[in-house]
Amino acid sequence: MNEEQKKAQINKSSTGEKDYSQYFETTYTPPSLKQAKKRGKENIEIHYDFDVPEDMQQIGKDKKFLIRTYGCQMNEHDSENMAGILMRMGFESTAAVEEADVILINTCAIRENAENKVFGEIGHLKALKQENPGLVIGVCGCMSQEESVVNRILQKHQQIDLIFGTHNIHRLPELLKNAIFGKEMVVEVWSKEGDIIENMPRARKGKIKGWVNIMYGCDKFCTYCIVPYTRGKERSRRPEDIIEEVRHLARNGYQEITLLGQNVNAYGKDLADIDYGLGDLMDEIRKIDIPRVRFTTSHPRDFDDHLIEVLAKGGNLVEHIHLPVQSGNNDILKLMARKYTRESYVELANKIKKAIPNASFTTDIIVGFPNETEEQFEDTMTLVKEMEYDSAFTYIYSPRDGTPAAKMEDNVPHEVKKKRLARLNALVNELSAEKNKEYPGKTVEVLVEGESKKDPEVLSGRTRTNRLVNFRAPKSTIGTVIYVKITEAKTWSLNGEVVEPAEVNI
Ligand code: SAH
Ligand code: SF4
Ligand code: F3S
């Protein structure tokens, strides 16, 4: 059967659930969101013996790869693992698309516009593939976990050679080998999470700031969210493995780490043999000689007193808390299944402020959840004012197939949602600008990250609360912590001049 006939066969199938297996010589394991929803009790094993098999270490000799990453920090970090694996297979990295022999698109499924961007990119790559038929294009990440996406690629994007998901990144050597040497598209997506694979080779993007996964998956099932389906059940790494990784980064000169998880406050709950949570982990990491430690993302519901106590010890634990609220209205919060109220959220924030007086808060907000009324939206606006967030990521609700909210009827026109988003953004910006106005004259601690975007003569870095600061200083300060006296406040950033540490205010 040729490609056209195969496509015709697939399209002709009258059953809703299409079975493509007969058309594929190699592994064909498509995803199922239904399977992904299940949460089993099976034990998660940890493997410490991962390596790229010897016979695959030369596959990439004289060849180059490029990874395009969409989505959250988790995806950024997964891409670092994939880059590490590809380098271990002999590939070199390139930033030029025309030079690449392998292109991986690490995708995000969180909102429809994230998915549209990826399909746009897949479309663009068609021409490149025609010019260079030897090019291997892979799609991975959260979108691969959705059967609708895999079906669409099979039907309309035959230029793709490989599809794998978030649970089988460690299978990349084998899968890529099959994609390079086989004739058919390789599809291997695991709907259920597998074991934890430690010691994957890793090519970190920067030398100053590093990501450290502390857990995988999410069991919160907020009704709008696709992540529990694309990332599987909550699984925590062992504390000793995390601590060893942080120590390793500290030894290698890293200045800042961010502990990563979809819901880091649930860390440790699945570790059956020890009673150990995020507070305990942070208390250990606090003692490691690395200037700054952040964590993301917190779920307000699991934020416990022990963690607050530990964060209040300060030191390298920065006083910045990203605490997604999503909505300021209790009925909407209930429909979202966030399992906290506006009042309990504010109470938690106040408790944190009391323990850590100069704590800064940022958040995530969704506007236009199904049937959100004007009054309910106003509750979000008043909450934002009450909380005085430093900044906020704001989104228009996007229905995700397979989630409970996607089945809710929605009487709010898109135009109304867009207007609400604009109003919310104006408020968030106003608050951020106002906060910045308090800074001139103060001295802040800044981790110097590199040249500023606009002017290579000016350097930029971030405060402990993640504010962007621009200043003139020798390039040798890049990757160090310095002190900057703020001279001017802008909406999004602060300008200042370097001073001696004795004058620090914040
Ligand atoms: N695990 C994190 C973040 C998950 S995704 C948390 O729980 O906070 C990041 C943000 O995307 C969410 O906080 C939410 O504000 C937004 N988001 C998730 N699903 C969405 C959807 N279907 N439509 C619009 N925004 C969404
Ligand atoms: Fe999604 Fe909620 Fe889990 Fe965050 S906590 S990843 S919003 S389901
Ligand atoms: Fe997107 Fe997946 Fe992250 S859906 S936000 S890349 S967990």
Q: Where in the chain is the domain with CATH 2.40.50.140?
A: 442-498
Indicate whether 471 pLDDT > 60.
Answer: yes
Question: Which pLDDT score is estimated for 114?
Answer: 94
What distance in angstroms lies between residue 108's CA and the mean position of ligand 1's atoms?
11
CA geometry: angle at 211 spanning 210 and 212, to 5°?
Answer: 120
CATH of 23-188, one of 3.40.50.12160, 3.40.50.10490, 3.30.40.230, 3.40.50.720: 3.40.50.12160
80-107 per-residue burial string, b: 16 or more CB within 10 A, e: under 16: bbbbbbbbbbebeebeeeeebbbbbbbb
Cα atoms in the Cβ-side hemisphere of radius 13 Å centred on 16:
0
Tell me if the pTM is above 0.85.
yes
User: Which residue type sits at 264?
Assistant: V
Residue spans of alpha helices (H) in 315-445:
330-335, 342-355, 374-387, 414-437
Strands 320-322 and 292-296: unpaired
Among 72, 77, 216, the mutation site with the greatest number of ligand 3 atoms within 8 A of its Cβ is 72
Indicate whether 4 pLDDT > 90.
Answer: no
Question: Which pLDDT score is estimated for 14?
Answer: 39
User: Which residue type sits at 110?
Assistant: I
Q: In 3D, which of 427, 316, 340, 343 has the Cα closest to residue 377?
A: 427
Structure tokens at 225: 């969210």
Question: Which pLDDT score is estimated for 505?
Answer: 56
The answer to whether the beta carbons of residues 400 and 225 sit under 8 Å apart is yes
How would you class 108 by CB atoms within 10 Å of its CB: exposed for 0-12, middle for 13-18, buried for 19 or more?
buried
User: Would you say the C-alpha torsion 359, 360, 364, 366 has a positive or negative sign?
Assistant: positive
- pLDDT one-digit tens code per residue, 126-147: 999 999 999 999 999 999 999 9
Indicate whether 7 pLDDT > 60.
Answer: no
What distance in angstroms lies between residue 247's CA and the mean position of ligand 1's atoms?
31
Structure tokens at 364: 């995530």
Is 274 strand, coil or helix?
Answer: coil
Q: How distant is the alpha carbon of residue 199 from its chain centre? A: 20
Q: Where in the chain is the domain with CATH 3.80.30.20?
A: 204-438
Question: Which pLDDT score is estimated for 504?
Answer: 55
Is the previous residue joined to 258 through a cis bond, with omega within 30 degrees of 0? no
Is 163 strand, coil or helix?
Answer: strand
280 pLDDT tier (thresholds 50, 70, 90): very high
Is 61 strand, coil or helix?
Answer: coil
Cα atoms in the Cβ-side hemisphere of radius 13 Å centred on 12:
6
Is 486 strand, coil or helix?
Answer: strand
What distance in angstroms lies between residue 225's CA and the mean position of ligand 1's atoms?
6
Q: In 3D, which of 321, 313, 311 has the Cα closest to residue 362?
A: 321
Which distant-in-sequence residues (6+ apart) come within 8 Å of 5 by Cβ? none
Question: Which pLDDT score is estimated for 270?
Answer: 94
At 6, which helix (H) or strand (E)?
helix 3-12
The answer to whether the beta carbons of residues 334 and 344 sit under 8 Å apart is no
Which distant-in-sequence residues (6+ apart) come within 8 Å of 138 by Cβ? 102, 103, 104, 105, 160, 161, 162, 163, 164, 175, 176, 179
Ligand nearest to the CA of 262: 1
Q: Where in the chain is the domain with CATH 3.40.50.12160?
A: 23-188
Nearest-atom index, ligand 1, CA of 225: 19
What distance in angstroms lies between residue 400's CA and the mean position of ligand 1's atoms?
11
Indicate whether 10 pLDDT > 90.
Answer: no
Structure tokens at 362: 């940022």
Q: Spelled out in words, what is the top-level CATH class assigned to the domain 204-438?
A: alpha beta
Number of Cβ within 10 Å of residue 383's Cβ equals: 19
Helix/strand/coil (H/E/C) assignment for every residue in 76-135? HHHHHHHHHHHHHCCCEECCCHHHCCEEEEEECCCCHHHHHHHHHHHHHHHHHHHHCCCC
Among 263, 299, 323, the mutation site with the greatest number of ligand 2 atoms within 8 A of its Cβ is 263
Nearest-atom index, ligand 1, CA of 403: 22
Nearest-atom index, ligand 3, CA of 231: 7
Indicate whether 335 pLDDT > 50.
Answer: yes
- pLDDT one-digit tens code per residue, 142-200: 999 999 999 999 999 999 999 999 999 999 999 999 999 988 899 999 999 989 999 99
How far, in Å, CA of 217 to CA of 220, rounded? 9
- pLDDT one-digit tens code per residue, 51-100: 999 999 999 999 999 999 999 999 999 999 999 999 999 999 999 999 99
**What DSSP character marks residue 186?**
E
Paired with 28 in beta bridges are 187
Q: Which residues line ligand 2 (CB under 6 A)?
A: 218, 220-222, 225, 227-228, 262-263, 299
Residue nearest to atom 9 of ligand 1 (CA): 364
Number of Cβ within 10 Å of residue 430's Cβ equals: 13
Which distant-in-sequence residues (6+ apart) come within 8 Å of 88 by Cβ? 51, 52, 57, 173, 201
Residue nearest to atom 18 of ligand 1 (CA): 225
DSSP string for 217-234: ------TT--HHHHH-S-
Indicate whether 220 pLDDT > 70.
Answer: yes
What distance in angstroms lies between residue 227's CA and the mean position of ligand 2's atoms?
6
Q: What fold does the segment set 442-498 form as a domain?
A: OB fold (Dihydrolipoamide Acetyltransferase, E2P) (2.40.50)
